[in-house]
Structure 1
Amino acid sequence: MTLTSPDVDERTTTRSDTPWVTVVWDDPVNLMSYVTYVFQSYFGFGRAKAERLMHQVDEDGRAIVATGAREAMEAHVEAMHGYGLQATVDRAPAP
């Protein structure tokens, strides 16, 4: 007796646990030192990581600062807005 499995088209299969990201965007208002401070105080990043992400925001116009479940990323975005930073939630880039 041979067991067979149904055909699955993996191109149309999506994972329900697809990670999401919090993206912080560059703006003309906030000082680089303030953005570094926010990353350190809210996310708990060390100074070097906070400065690296701040420079990425400044130079590339954006930086991914967190990855995880959508609800958590939405909470991070709300917190960033509370600090006066521009931030959005997006799907994590494909590996």
Structure 2
Amino acid sequence: MMSSLKECSIQALPSLDEKTKTEEDLSVPWKVIVLNDPVNLMSYVVMVFRKVFGYNENKATKHMMEVHQLGKSVLWTGQREEAECYAYQLQRWRLQTILEKDD
């Protein structure tokens, strides 16, 4: 099952310079954004949102329609490490996903 944050793990320790930059990046919230694509069925996208985020049917459908109509939807906002994990999971389900700082 691909629905757990436990699937993500840190692979390497950052250098001192990277650590400083990372601490700055971690203090800013990050957005997980899914982009529209012509490949995946709407029902599939709803199912993925439910599995990855634990959304109920209505919330998952709302986000799917936003992606379909507006071209993208912000699915989650929070710490960078968790955002990267969510993005990774969505990409494993073959959904086009990007991360952006939440200014």
Q: TM-score, normalised by structure 2?
A: 0.73
The alignment of Structure 1 onto Structure 2 pairs a total of residues equal to: 80
Structure 2: runs of 5+ lacking an equivalent? 1-23
Q: Which residue of 2 is the match for residue 73 of structure 1?
A: 83
What letter matches 1:26 in structure 2?
Answer: N
Alignment partner of 1:52 is 2:62 = yes
Aligned-pair Cα RMSD in Å: 1.6
Query: 2:47: which partner in 1?
Result: 37
Q: Which residue of 1 aligns with 2:6?
A: none
The separation in 2 between residues aligned to 1:78 and 1:33, in whole angstroms, is 20
The higher radius of gyration belongs to: 1
Q: Which of the pair is proportionally richer in helix?
A: 2
Q: 2:71 aligns with which of 61, 69, 72?
A: 61
Q: Which runs of 5+ in 1 are unaligned?
A: 1-13
Give the TM-score normalised by the residue count of structure 1.
0.79
Identity among equivalent positions (%) equals 35
Deviations 1:19-49 (A, max 9, x none): 1010000001000000000001110001000
Moved over 3 A (4+): none
Amino acid at match of 2:79: A
